[in-house]
Structure 1
Amino acid sequence: MKTLMMKLVIFVMFFFGNMIFVSKYKHLLIVLLSLEFIVLSIYFLMMYYFMMFSYDMYMLMIFLVFSVCEGALGLSILVSMIRTYGNDYFQSYNLLW
């Protein structure tokens, strides 16, 4: 019962992260936050399965390093776009420049 509830919570986290990613595509900050939420749910899923099969947790450290690098890159793009254009709306950018 406990494992089924844990899987359900992880699935709901992943589903809501994807729904926010799809529905709130106008702001870059919300898109980045939803991507981090999806990465967090994948991290919980990997941790659950590694603990269930008693594997080594070294792969989780590598996954965390890549997710932190992804978050830092996203924030640097966000800061660059806000300094250049003044906001984080996707409609105000001319992507052909």
Structure 2
Amino acid sequence: MYLYFIFMFYFSGLLIFCLSGKHFLMMLLSLEFLVLGLFLMVFYFLKSFGFELYFSMIFIIFCVCEGALGLSILVSLIRTHGNDYFKSFNFLQC
């Protein structure tokens, strides 16, 4: 039963990620929601088969680093462009 809720958690995060393409901050938050769902799946898998939980600790460390990198990119984009709308960015320009 827990696995059903974890899959629903993950797919709702995926739906939010696909539908929130307007703001960069909303995409980062939904990406963290996805990562949390993946962490719960990995934790449930390791716990159910009796494996050690060191991999889940390493996974959450990488998730924190990914979140910090995303926030630093968000801050630099807001400083250079003034907002976090995807429509105002021109990625083809050097």
| Distance in 1 between residues matched to 2:5 and 2:15, nearest whole Å | 15
Counterpart for residue 86 of structure 2: 90
1:22 to 14, 18, 23: 18
Quote the RMSD (CA, aligned, Å).
Answer: 0.7
> Does 1:44 pair with 2:50?
no
Distance 1:70 1:60 in 2: 15
Hey, which bits of structure 1, 4+ residues long, moved more than 2 A? none
1:15-49: per-residue Cα shift (whole Å, max 9, x none)?
11110111111111010011100100111111111
Rounded to whole Å, the distance in 2 between the matches of 1:19 and 1:37 is 11
TM-score (norm 1): 0.93
Which position in structure 2 is the counterpart of 1:8? 4
What is the percent sequence identity of the aligned residues?
A: 53
TM-score, reference length from structure 2: 0.95
Deviation at 1:72? Answer: 0.4
Unaligned stretches of 5+ residues in structure 2:
none
1:79 equivalent in structure 2: 75
